[in-house]
Amino acid sequence: WYNMPYLRNVLQMGQILIFRGRVVKKNGRLTMEQPEVFTPEQYRGIMHSMQPVYGQTRGLSNKTIVKAEKQALENRQMKREYMPAFLRRKYELAEINYALEHIHFPRDQKELLFARKRLVFDEFFMFLVGVRRLKESREGKKTEFVIRPGEETGRLKESLPYALTSAQERTLQEVFSDLEKGCVMNRLVQGDVGSGKTVIAILALLAAAENGYQGALMVPTEVLARQHFESITKMFETSGIDKKVVLITGSMTAKEKRIAYEKTASHEADIIIGTHALIQEKVIYDKLALVITDEQHRFGVSQRRILREKGQNPDVLMMTATPIPRTLAITAFGDMDVSIIDQMPAGRKEIITRWVKHEQLEVVLDWLVKELGKGSQAYFISPLIEESEALDLKNALALQEELEAFFGQRARVSLLHGKMKSEEKDAIMQAFKEHQVDVLVSTTVIEVGVNVPNATVMVIMDADRFGLSQLHQLRGRVGRGNKQSYAILVANPKTDSGKQRMKIMTETTNGFVLAEEDLKMRGSGEIFGTRQSGIPEFQVADLVEDYPILEEARKVASQIVATPDWREHPDWHLLSLYLEKKEHLD
């Protein structure tokens, strides 16, 4: 024992004591450092009982925390129960004081689970009531912009080279219905990679312009911004639509930016497309009525808010190609209306996905030579940029050299990675789009949205290092044209979950199915960065394991909030007081 001289007086010769602690080998002898000491009687009293184990910080032992927790519970002021008795009976929920005590010191597993269920229900319930109320406060928020699609919007839709799928039609009607209401729209459009979300955004932006307002589209990369700018400009020219589209990105020259700013401020520009450069102080809008963010989880909450604040209560439309499981959608986007595009455009061929071992890579390369010979292009994705001693992975630089040596004069190989400057990245991506490059070796920076219809092969090295959602996003970079496309997953997974991920990827191309599987396998925090996506981190509840309780809490929260004057009802009066107090503290 260290720093415990008083033990000399406590431990008496001839006593029988039980020592409990961690046994380690030191200098060939078994030792037990700082053990807990019990008399046989004391030890019998705690045998077969559950003992709490807490997360510790330096200088605090578990024993100290247990002691403090016991004192806190003994000296606490009992909480007033705020959940009505009929609700607790219906969902078998413990009384709140019982739950708070028995989560720490249950006699058995049954008591622990009973206490935990109440605390999980409360966490979900309080969060969902808050979200519902936030949604209601937004729904009632008026906007001076009433947007009705006019003749030009109809003409553009008619001139599209393809008919919209029924899922696109449904989503478009939901968006137009919101725009006409005169209340602020707050809608998320969720659609798998290549499901056709962009055309919804274009038609909504044109409708805003037709009504004499401005619309802005913010995307995460310059390549994507330029791609949207070029395709919208071309569509308008083809359909004879006289609306001005302007591009604003960080790499533009000072003169180009100044001209774009002037056009935006004077309302010569009807539609403004760009990266987060759109939210700079110098960018001043005139009657900004519609704000759209594409791949919304790539932007922080504050960036999205700044863009919204550039106008006077504009309508907000967010788009994501990251399929979000229903469980997470309830929590992360509970304050938004959600439209789901769950159909792929007609004629789009399904991407053939194969899993191969590293030893089979040469066979893949021989096959790839034939594909490139047909005029196709290919991506090679590597998880790392440079050598890492800790991870035995094919890194991008070594992979580029290997492929250059293999292809020689038969293919032009180029490299793209996150450490490059934006202009350099854009130039390489542009060269790939224009088919000046046949094989693009890249890290995951190409994950978002770039459209190269001629790229038909996606080879992902060490694919077992990626999550399902990320693999699906990467696979979605091919299959953009009418040619048959392929995704090759190169991996020798050592774990069962790695093998399972490879197997699932070859069995389905449905992003929503994959997202549900990913959630089960990895938990909510990793699907996409928890903090930036706005998914709450609960203290007791687990979004995957506790999904049935989440559903129950959602039903109750929806029923309560939908009831007029529910706060005045005797059943909910104590809950109402508790929420008011909680909101005040928050």
Q: What is the pLDDT of residue 528?
A: 42
Rounded average pLDDT over 268-296 = 90
pLDDT tens digits for range 440-499: 998 876 655 567 889 999 999 999 988 887 888 889 888 877 789 999 999 999 988 889
Q: Where are the beta strands (DSSP E) in 67-175?
A: none
Q: What is the pLDDT of residue 480?
A: 78
Single out the residue of 48, 98, 104, 44 nearest to residue 71, CA to CA.
Answer: 104
Q: What is the pLDDT of residue 422?
A: 74
pLDDT tens digits for range 7-41: 888 888 899 999 988 898 889 999 988 888 899 99
Q: What is the pLDDT of residue 583?
A: 64
Single out the residue of 192, 196, 180, 194 nearest to residue 290, CA to CA.
Answer: 180
3-state class (DSSP) for residue 86: helix
Q: What is the pLDDT of residue 288?
A: 92
- Does residue 559 carry a pLDDT above 50? yes
pLDDT tens digits for range 200-211: 999 999 999 999
- Does residue 94 carry a pLDDT above 80? yes
How far, CA to CA in Å, does 520 sit from each of 114, 226, 328, 495, 551?
A: 24, 37, 12, 16, 16
Q: What is the pLDDT of residue 563?
A: 80
Q: What is the pLDDT of residue 532?
A: 36
* Signed CA dihedral, 546, 549, 555, 560: sign only: negative
Phi and psi at residue 114, in whole multiples of 5°?
-65, -45
Share of the chain above pLDDT 90, in %: 44
Average pLDDT of the chain, as a whole number: 85
Q: How confident is the model at residue 530 (pLDDT cuts 50, 70, 90)?
A: very low
| Residue recorded with tokens 């415990």 | 4
pLDDT tens digits for range 413-442: 999 887 788 778 888 888 998 999 999 998
- Does residue 529 carry a pLDDT above 50? no
Helices (H), 267-345: 301-308, 326-332
- Global pTM value: 0.66
pLDDT tens digits for range 358-411: 999 999 999 999 999 999 999 999 886 555 545 555 688 889 999 999 999 999
| Residue recorded with tokens 């309508």 | 315
Q: What is the pLDDT of residue 313?
A: 85
pLDDT tens digits for range 48-62: 888 888 887 877 888
Q: What is the pLDDT of residue 294?
A: 86
| Residue recorded with tokens 């007086």 | 9
- Report the DSSP pairing between strands 439-442 and 413-416: parallel
DSSP string, 385-450: SS--SS----BHHHHHHHHHHHHGGG--EEEE-TTS-HHHHHHHHHHHHTTS-SEEEE-GGGGS--
- How many H helices and E strands in the chain? 22, 17
Rounded to a whole number of angstroms, the distance between the first and last alpha carbons of the chain is: 45
pLDDT tens digits for range 155-206: 999 998 888 999 999 999 999 999 998 888 888 898 877 788 899 999 999 9
pLDDT top residue among 224 and 169: 169
Single out the residue of 181, 186, 120, 126 nearest to residue 148, CA to CA.
Answer: 181
Share of the chain above pLDDT 70, in %: 89
Rounded distance, CA 561 to CA 565, Å?
A: 9
Q: What is the pLDDT of residue 395?
A: 81
Q: How confident is the model at residue 330 (pLDDT cuts 50, 70, 90)?
A: low
Single out the residue of 311, 322, 344 nearest to residue 220, CA to CA.
Answer: 322
Q: What is the pLDDT of residue 545?
A: 79
Beta bridge partners of 30: 25
Q: What is the pLDDT of residue 533?
A: 42
Rounded distance, CA 410 to CA 477, Å?
A: 23
